Copies of this chain bind each other. A is one copy, B any other.
Amino acid sequence: MNKIGGFAVKIATPPMGWNSWDCYGAGVTEEIVRQNADYMAEHLKQFGWEYVVVDIQWSAPNAKTHEYEPFADLCMDEYSRLIPAENRFPSSAGGKGFGPLAEYVHSLGLKFGIHIMRGIPRQAVHRNTKILGSDHTAREIAKTNSICAWNTDMYGVNPEKEGAKEYYESLFKLYAEWGVDFIKCDDIARELPHEESELILLSESLRGCGRKMILSLSPGPALPEKAELYKQTANMWRITDDFWDKWELLYQMFERCERWAGHSGAGHWPDADMLPVGAILQDYSPENRSAFSYEEQKVMMTLWSIFRSPLMIGSELTKLDEKTLSLLTNTDIIAMNKNSRYAHQVWRREVAGTEIVLWAAACSEGGLYAAVFNIGEAACDIEIPLTDLEVYEPVVCKELWTAEESKSENALKISLAPHDAAAYLLK
């Protein structure tokens, strides 16, 4: 049993926002961030979208795509802390860091987030640079054989070394000064149990920094046996490796969500990852668009919402088409993401020649959510007995995508294409 206290920030509903990874990889620039923030403020904010998150390697002057450059030289301050590359984030000039950009995002009524990697920069260790508030140096706190499997930027930090605590505290103090609201910390979620003590130190340091920040852990898949630890240290944690616009990955998410559903709660959400919709992979070509069909995107939005996953749009927002936009601004679906409670898979069966999944959840404003997914390869007309939902009398059902209301005597009657979904509020 875990002994640590509940030190994660408490918020009531899962974060919603935009993240630069799916569209720009490691190469996003300040200009792009501002244009997406502007779009969000104008078109999405009223639906609940609020976080604008700069993803990985913002301190690398030459980062341009989804590929990482091994042993890249990074921008760093004298205290072993990475700072934005000025050529990519001009407003950071003069030691201002992300302060001006955060201020701009706040001015739009939105919140600002950044990506970090667990640990201390490799180059700080090799240059043996200083740690703010400590006589110890980078070399002394590095965990010598803890390095990320896919990126050379950092060494892990050994929490047992003197100076480790001061390093992490100095980091979050800096981010608090900048006005950061959201930290996506990488190379840490699936790195348990061996990096457990570093996660705890990091989480405690964040909590003590004096500013409320959401802590999001990557990459997945997180370890189910560590659920209690994630809940106590973080607000969200990835239950999957990077999720992209492939049906196979979406199909697999049903099993992941079933396993993790019981761990959603006040301020802590298993995270099914970003929504790869619209204009993604823009660093490779401005023509790129999500490979998911409209119906598959409904499947995704329905599952993410009843499951209460955080929602992070992967698209270049200014290129959103009407149909995709409609999926992201359906107020009933977004309400389900906020009000769903105790969501769980009721069953998953072969029915009528296809594979059907039924989820249910309580609605915190009364009534019952139900979601029906056709994840097989055949269209179907099916009836789900209300008793399967433990409903023993007629109810009024609202289908959330169509907004149609009807009275059900004893079954939900549904027609679904393959890779399609329906969502209901029963009252």
Contacts and interface: CB of A to CB of B under 8 A. Distances in A.
A346 B390 contact: no
Which of A1, A139, A345 is the most central at the interface, judged by chain B CB atoms within 10 Å of its CB?
A1
Residue of A2, A228, A362 contacting most chain B CB atoms (<10 Å): A362
Contacts of A1: 348-350, 355
Interface in A348-398: 348-350, 355, 360-362, 364, 387-390, 392
Contacts of A142: 70-71
Interface in A94-143: 122-123, 125-126, 128, 139, 142
Interface string A59-90: 00000000000110000000000000000000
A144 B70 contact: yes
A348 to B, nearest CB: 6
A29 to B, nearest CB: 26
Contacts of A342: 341-342, 344, 360-362
A148 interface: yes
B387 A10 contact: yes
A416 interface: no
A323 interface: no
B262 A345 contact: yes
A71 B139 contact: yes
Given A71-B128, A71-B142, A231 B347 contact: yes
A152 interface: yes
Q: Is chain A's binding surface mostly helix, strand, loop or mixed? A: mixed
Contacts of A285: none
Contact of A349 (B139, B228, B265, B266): B228
A3 interface: yes
Contact of A266 (B139, B231, B361, B388): B388
B126 A71 contact: yes
B150 A147 contact: no
Contact of A265 (B139, B147, B346, B364): B346
A228 B349 CA distance: 8
Contact of A12 (B349, B350, B392): B392
A119 B142 CA distance: 21
A186 to B, nearest CB: 14
A102 to B, nearest CB: 27
A344 B262 contact: yes
A338 to B, nearest CB: 11
A125 B350 contact: no
A6 B385 CA distance: 11
Contact of A147 (B145, B349, B361, B390): B145
A261 interface: yes
A126 B123 contact: yes
A48 B182 CA distance: 52
A2 B349 contact: yes
Interface string A308-336: 00000000000000000000000000000
Contact of A341 (B149, B345, B362): B362
14 contacts: A1-B348, A1-B350, A2-B350, A6-B349, A70-B142, A71-B125, A123-B126, A145-B149, A145-B150, A145-B152, A228-B348, A258-B262, A342-B342, A362-B362
Given A228-B347, A262-B345, A266-B389, 20 more contacts: A3-B349, A3-B350, A70-B142, A70-B144, A71-B125, A123-B126, A126-B126, A144-B147, A144-B152, A145-B147, A145-B149, A228-B349, A231-B347, A232-B349, A262-B344, A265-B346, A266-B388, A266-B390, A341-B342, A342-B344
